[in-house]
């Protein structure tokens, strides 16, 4: 249950970030800035997941289910934020919606990927 709560906190944080500052980095005419926004999601998601797994002592065998529990609440809540995009993100023009939705898919994919363990077999 705490994983779900962590996922909700991450969703609130990301939603507030885009609500108040999204216009600074979701600019459709600026491909470089959009690329940087997607690239910066990698360390942000890593900082939101790997220390969490470590501090909660989540074993490698339990990380995949934990990553699903973290990602799923935000994925469900973002259905509403995408449907009501103009109301929730009044600071963003409607032409940013495809980039916002793509960023969401990217971020949730990164959360889910963080749940997979890389096993290196030694001979």
Q: How far apart are CA 23 and CA 37, in angstroms?
A: 12
Average pLDDT of span 102-109: 97
pLDDT, tens digit (0-9, with 9 covering 90-100), for 62-87: 999 999 999 999 999 999 999 999 99
The residues spanned by each domain of the chain are 2-114
Q: Is 61 left (phi over 0), alpha (psi -120 to 50) or beta?
A: alpha
What is the structure's pLDDT at 67?
A: 97
With a cut of 60, say whether residue 123 has pLDDT above it: no
pTM: 0.90
Average pLDDT of span 40-50: 96
With a cut of 70, say whether residue 58 has pLDDT above it: yes
Average pLDDT of span 18-31: 92
């Amino acid at each position: 249950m705490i994983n779900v709560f962590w996922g909700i906190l991450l969703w609130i944080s990301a939603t507030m970030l885009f609500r108040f500052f999204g216009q600074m980095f979701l600019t459709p005419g600026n491909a470089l800035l959009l690329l940087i926004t997607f690239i910066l999601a990698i360390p942000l998601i890593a900082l939101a997941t790997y220390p969490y797994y470590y501090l909660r002592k989540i074993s490698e065998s339990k990380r995949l289910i934990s990553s699903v529990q973290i990602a799923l609440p935000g994925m469900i809540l973002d259905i509403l934020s995408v449907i009501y995009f103009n109301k929730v993100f009044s600071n963003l023009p409607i032409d940013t919606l495809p980039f916002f939705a793509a960023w969401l898919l990217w971020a949730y994919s990164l959360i889910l990927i963080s749940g997979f363990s890389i096993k290196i077999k030694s001979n």
